[in-house]
Amino acid sequence: MIHQAIYNTHPNVVSVRVDKCFDANENPVVIDQSLVDAENIRLQTEQANSVAQKAADKASANAKLKALGLTDAEIEAIT
């Protein structure tokens, strides 16, 4: 995810190799680590929120199916 944070915050970076960043002409690019760290946290939070939302959506769907009278086995069979 750190590479994506670098690409998001430094659009001139086209490749990251180990701990070095390069532009399209293979010139080294100096990155602002504080920008990268902040973007990495944002990306991690976004991913965690997405996972949590998916779990909440599944629980909501299962509750609605149960309210319609489906058994746990029937719900499991269709989800």
Per-residue model confidence as pLDDT tens digits over 27-73: 999 999 999 999 999 999 999 999 999 999 999 999 999 999 999 99
Range of the domain at 42: 2-78
Structural domains in the chain (count): 1
CA distance 15 to 62: 44
8 A C-beta contact, residue 9 and residue 35: yes
CA distance 42 to 48: 10
Phi-psi region of 18 (alpha: psi -120 to 50; beta: other; left: phi over 0): left
Per-residue model confidence as pLDDT tens digits over 7-21: 999 999 999 998 899
Write 64-72 long-range contacts (CB < 8 A, 24+).
none
